[in-house]
Amino acid sequence: MDTRQVELVASYADMLQVGSRNMQNFALLKEVGQSKKPVLLKRGMMATVEELLQAAEYILSQGNSQLILCERGIRTFETSTRNTLDLSAVLALKQRTQLPVIVDPSHGTGIRRMVPAMSKAALAVGADGLIIEVHHQPENALCDGPQSLYHEEFSVLMHDLRLISPVVGKIIKTCNPIT
């Protein structure tokens, strides 16, 4: 998303997402900060928790407080996953901000078979939400197929999440996505 496109996108979308590669695109942060739409700000893959909070300030300082932070994996030396999902970052963030913090296990691992377990772990650690990629035919997906859940996997996962949620004081609401 380019700064020049924010207004156009905001006229159609319900929410604006600033992707991890744009986390320190300060011109874009200020631009979405002037929008009236809620913003999802993803942590850069080599950004510290401190830097994510500083990036959030660019948005908040423009008057937009409808902001959600998202942990989506950091770059480490480990190669068995695309990135290393840093679940303790949820705790570090929550100690320092009131903003909601969600987790993206799909991009964080890049591997379908890891997504359900990491989703449960993210809920158990106290995340306020999850952003999970689902596709009815992942093998035919135009992008991110290898990390997308099949519908049945997603149903099983939601069932498990509902069982864990009361233990960590969360309530799972469901809204209908694009139909």
Residues engaged in binding a second copy (CB under 8 A)? 1-5, 21-22, 24-28, 44-50, 74-81, 84-92, 95, 108-109, 113-114, 117-118, 120-126, 160, 163-164, 166-168
Residue 153 CB, nearest approach to a second copy (Å): 15
Q: Among positive and negative, which fits the CA dihedral 102, 131, 176, 124?
A: negative
Residue 179 CB, nearest approach to a second copy (Å): 29
22 or 179: whose CB is closer to a second copy?
22
171 or 178: whose CB is closer to a second copy?
171
34 or 65: whose CB is closer to a second copy?
34
Residue with tokens 């913003």: 39
Residue 125 CB, nearest approach to a second copy (Å): 4
Q: How many residues does the chain have?
A: 179
Q: Give burial (CB, 10 Å; 0-12/13-18/19+) of 169.
A: exposed
CA distance 106 to 103: 9
Question: Which DSSP category does 139 fall into?
Answer: G
